[in-house]
């Protein structure tokens, strides 16, 4: 019995060291898993404008005017492992639906400087929204925020600021830590993107689209976001699609919702989504 008491401090120390090591490993791995963009030779598209974020990063943006002077603006936050050049088909689609488009790259993505981090992504999104409002002249009521996958986080971060024309969440997760395998409680690892909590602060009309078979962000995340959203909501779960092709199964519904929001912008923002 005495030998057990002698060994107990060593056992406790081993547990503490193992727990601390787990924290260090996860803290090191998460940024690399969360921001895996690895373009070796990013290209700069003609018409890019560079903004400086509050963290001093040089943020690449691309503004594409709408088909008419009164076109509302769609501010796009892209998914992970992507950059500005990957969204060209989407930009054409949105312009064809009557929207101007403003897209940007996160720090360390494309031709943006810096290193990707949760704080850097939020600061970049804030700089782009400020540019849209102060330089391009769009009020919130004529700005529609669209976030794809990872982009849902900065989209929700911005959407908390006030009443926008609308918010689109495409295949978005409820939090980063909830995407990890089951782990012991990590008391000292902060949640970088608490999307569930941010969703409660959104007052703008929301379109939430998610693939039922999504293997990267399971559909349970969409249900949890839906439970936390208190704004007017149009919710679509799409059968037979994965993470990257969710819009393929619901394009007509998305286009109808975008048309409703465009009409709302033209009428002063009174109409709500169907």
Question: What is the chain's Cα-based Rg?
Answer: 21
Residue 267 predicted with pLDDT over 50: yes
Residue 148 predicted with pLDDT over 70: yes
Residues in CB range of 200: below 8 A, 6 or more apart? 228, 229, 230
Q: Say if CB 124 and CB 118 are below 8 A apart.
A: no
First to last CA, the chain: 72
200-214 mean pLDDT: 96
pLDDT grade, residue 40 (50/70/90)? low
Residue 274 predicted with pLDDT over 50: no
Residue 16 predicted with pLDDT over 50: no
10, with CB counted inside 10 A (0-12, 13-18, 19+), is exposed
Query: Which has more pLDDT, 272 or 116?
Result: 116
pLDDT grade, residue 181 (50/70/90)? low
**Quick one: what percent of the chain has pLDDT higher than 70?**
80
- Residue 64, phi then psi, degrees to nearest 5: -120, 115
CA pair distance 68, 124, nearest whole angstrom: 28
200-225 mean pLDDT: 96
Helix, strand, coil abundance in the chain, percent, nearest 5: 40, 15, 40
Domain definitions of the chain by residue range: 35-266
pLDDT grade, residue 189 (50/70/90)? low
For 163, half-sphere exposure in the C-beta direction (CA atoms, 13 angstrom radius) is: 10
**CATH level 2 (architecture), domain 35-266:** 3-Layer(aba) Sandwich (3.40)
Residue 263 predicted with pLDDT over 50: yes
């Amino acid at each position: 019995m005495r030998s057990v008491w002698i060994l107990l401090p060593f056992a406790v120390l081993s547990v503490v060291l193992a727990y601390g090591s787990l924290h260090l490993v996860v803290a090191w791995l998460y940024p690399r898993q969360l921001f895996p963009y690895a373009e070796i030779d990013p290209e700069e598209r003609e018409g890019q404008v560079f903004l400086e974020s509050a963290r001093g990063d040089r943020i690449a943006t691309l503004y594409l005017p709408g088909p008419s002077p009164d076109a509302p603006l769609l501010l796009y936050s892209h998914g992970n492992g992507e950059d500005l050049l990957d969204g060209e088909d989407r930009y054409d689609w949105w312009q064809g639906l009557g929207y101007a488009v403003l897209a940007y790259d996160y720090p360390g993505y494309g031709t943006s400087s810096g290193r990707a981090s949760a704080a850097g992504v939020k600061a970049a999104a804030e700089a782009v929204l400020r540019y849209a409002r102060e330089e391009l002249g769009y009020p919130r009521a004529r700005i529609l925020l669209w976030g794809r996958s990872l982009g849902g986080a900065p989209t929700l971060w911005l959407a908390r600021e006030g009443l926008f024309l609308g918010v689109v969440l495409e295949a978005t997760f409820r939090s980063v830590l909830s995407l990890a395998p089951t782990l012991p409680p990590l008391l000292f690892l902060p949640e970088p993107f608490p999307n569930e909590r941010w969703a409660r602060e959104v007052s703008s009309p929301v379109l939430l689209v998610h693939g039922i078979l999504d293997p990267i962000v399971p559909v349970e995340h969409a249900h949890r976001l839906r439970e936390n959203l208190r704004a007017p909501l149009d919710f679509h779960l799409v059968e037979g699609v994965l993470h990257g092709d969710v819009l393929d199964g619901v394009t007509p519904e998305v286009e109808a919702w975008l048309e409703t929001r465009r009409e709302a912008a033209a009428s002063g923002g009174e109409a709500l989504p169907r």
